[in-house]
Structure 1
Amino acid sequence: MSNVEVEPAEMRCGAPIDGVRTSEATRVQVLEARDVPLGGVRAMHVRRTLPQRARTLIGAWCFADHYGPVDVPAGGGMNVPPHPHTGLQTVSWLFSGEVEHRDSLDTRAMVRPGEVNLMTGGRGICHSEVSTSDTAVLHGVQLWVALPEAHRSAGRDFQHHVPEPVRVDGAEVRVFLGSLAGDTSPVRTFTPLLGAQIDLEPGAAATLAVDPGFEHGLLVDGGDVRMAETMLHPSELGYLPCGGDTLALSNESDAPARAILLGGPPFDEAIVMWWNFIGRSHDDIVQARQDWEAASDRFGAVVGYPGERLRAPALPNAVITPRRNPS
């Protein structure tokens, strides 16, 4: 998904921010989402938990949008024209609905519930995303992964995987990236990562073995989920730093609960992130924007989208500074 904000914000890390609380007993930091409209009057709204001033990354995960359930006939659904990406991988995961993906690799693929689509932007790629005419309700997450310096100019790539559900105690786990609960995804990434959907039965609990070298984030979609003794409500993201080799989760509601678990070793590189580009300097962003506006071969072209491509917003009247997680 594109970040189609007309005036994408440059976010400076380290300053206090409302909507963040920390449990000192368990070291869990709770991040609340902010509402972001994607587009114009009939824009689809998303709830964004990454990035924000309190936390830029969880592992190499640098962007998390959570949307829906959206009534597509009433609201228009998703229609994102061809747009560019650099220095990142996009991870699309749906709970309901269907989205058609087209990219400059000549890929045409469907994003469906329980099926992960991962696209590598590297030096440059462009793609479009349109919810299908059969979609009544659209609901899911769009995630980005920052590429490390050694691979941020990697070639374009697209991967698809359908994970099998795995039972752990009272939970059903679908691992779309990395390894968890005895299952390993074949999808290739450039840093170690974990991405999984976890469904908890009403009143159920599960203890998962995790990598102590990973920091983790749990984004709650539905239900009230306790993570390491800290309560998380829908649309909140709980962050847990490295150190533990197990993760205890419990559903405190009388209905099924669902969450997305993200993880990875701390990403120590400072990044510059603006619109759909990730670089290491202001000049990287300026060049990427210039190349996109000039229809450079750097990004290629999407074939089959019935409309114009997305224009880049104006750059801020300031130098975009690199950022990393606040200490």
Structure 2
Amino acid sequence: MEVTRTLPGRDRRMVGAWCFLDAYGPDDLAAGAPGMRVAPHPHVGLQTVSWLAAGEILHRDSLGNTQEIRPGHLNLMTAGRGIAHSEQTPARHSGVLHGVQLWVALPDRDRAVAPDFTHHADLPVFTDGGLRAVVLMGELAGAVSPARCHTPLVGAELTLRAGTAARLPVRPDFEYAVLALDGAATVAGVPVKPGPLLYLGTGRRECEFAADGGPARLVLLGGEPFAESLVMWWNFVAREHDEIVEARRRWVDGGFGEVRGYDGDPLPAPPMPITRLVPRGRARHP
């Protein structure tokens, strides 16, 4: 599976509390693409946000949850002090896979909360002419997601019909970024297409979106700039090197619980780097 990772990057490590963004697909499973098969693995200190443009993924976790996610639905897993899960294409599927995997860093006050998993099949929608926004997290244009946020942020999927020109109200205290999933669009006067992440910064009260050449599908991320420095390594978000060492030890020793129902071994922990991991801020040059 080919994956495009735009967070963290060399210069931009976060957008609000959003600290990780992988985009994958569209993959034609009928043509022989293997689909998703991610063996059980651990997380601490974050929330995982799974969102599909097309296809299906089967989630299992160490709390005993089994949940298939489909387009328009949100899987939100809060790792807190520790959880393990697996993700795979189910045996019966629609033949295509296309989506994004996102992480939200938990603030220091909440990063040791009890692990939790919620599935949201009914998310709020905002429409304005040819623009349709599904709000995954937070609030946008008065539409409020039921998903629990631990810091002020927003995540939304925007679809634009060809010929659409629209403006969305945004918060000047939030920083924003946009990723194109399908098609091409112009955002705040800048062309975007699948691949790179467009960082928009702070200070805006509205943002312009246009799709002139055809329909487009975008992911909008935003939030209050995250003030805490992080150590991110493998599947862990922490504050210090020694916390990562301890989380890895727990995984090796079986301290994250069992993911039942997955046919295969869990992921082995990679070796620690030979130098100490250094906490880093949200940008290379804040």
Give the TM bin, normalised by the shorter chain: over 0.9
Q: Give deviations 1:98-123, integer Å, cap 9, x for gaps.
A: 11101011111111101011000011
Corresponding residue number in structure 1 for 2:199: 239
1:81 aligns with 2:81: no
Counterparts of 1:136-215 in structure 2, within 5 Å, are 136-161=95-120, 162-215=122-175
1:65 aligns with 2:22: yes
Q: Give deviations 1:186-228, integer Å, cap 9, x for gaps.
A: 1111111101000001121110011111101101112221111
2: distance between equivalents of 1:300 and 1:252? 50
Corresponding residue number in structure 2 for 1:32: none
Letter in 2 for 1:210: V
1: distance between equivalents of 2:125 and 2:87? 26
Runs of at least 4 residues off by over 4 Å: none
Unaligned runs of 5+ in 2: none
Does the 8 Å contact 1:86/1:123 carry over to 2? Answer: yes
1:219 aligns with 2:159: no
Measured after TM superposition, the shift of residue 236 of structure 1 is: 2.0
Does the 8 Å contact 1:168/1:181 carry over to 2? Answer: no
Letter in 2 for 1:106: G
Measured after TM superposition, the shift of residue 232 of structure 1 is: 1.3
Corresponding residue number in structure 2 for 1:104: 62
1:45 aligns with 2:5: no
Q: Give deviations 1:44-95, integer Å, cap 9, x for gaps.
A: 1211100011100000000000000112241210011110000000000001
Measured after TM superposition, the shift of residue 240 of structure 1 is: 1.2
2: distance between equivalents of 1:119 and 1:249? 30
1:290 aligns with 2:253: no
Corresponding residue number in structure 2 for 1:274: 233
Does the 8 Å contact 2:78/2:116 carry over to 1? Answer: yes
Corresponding residue number in structure 2 for 1:303: 260
2: distance between equivalents of 1:301 and 1:211? 42
Corresponding residue number in structure 2 for 1:20: none
Measured after TM superposition, the shift of residue 164 of structure 1 is: 4.1
SS in 2 for 1:288: helix
Q: Provide the aligned length of Structure 1 versus Structure 2.
A: 281
1: distance between equivalents of 2:151 and 2:257? 26
Question: Could you state the TM-score of these two structures normalised by the residue count of structure 1?
Answer: 0.84
1:256 aligns with 2:215: yes
Does the 8 Å contact 2:124/2:144 carry over to 1? Answer: no
Does the 8 Å contact 2:125/2:143 carry over to 1? Answer: no
1:126 aligns with 2:79: no
Letter in 1 for 2:85: H
Measured after TM superposition, the shift of residue 143 of structure 1 is: 0.3
Does the 8 Å contact 2:13/2:19 carry over to 1? Answer: yes
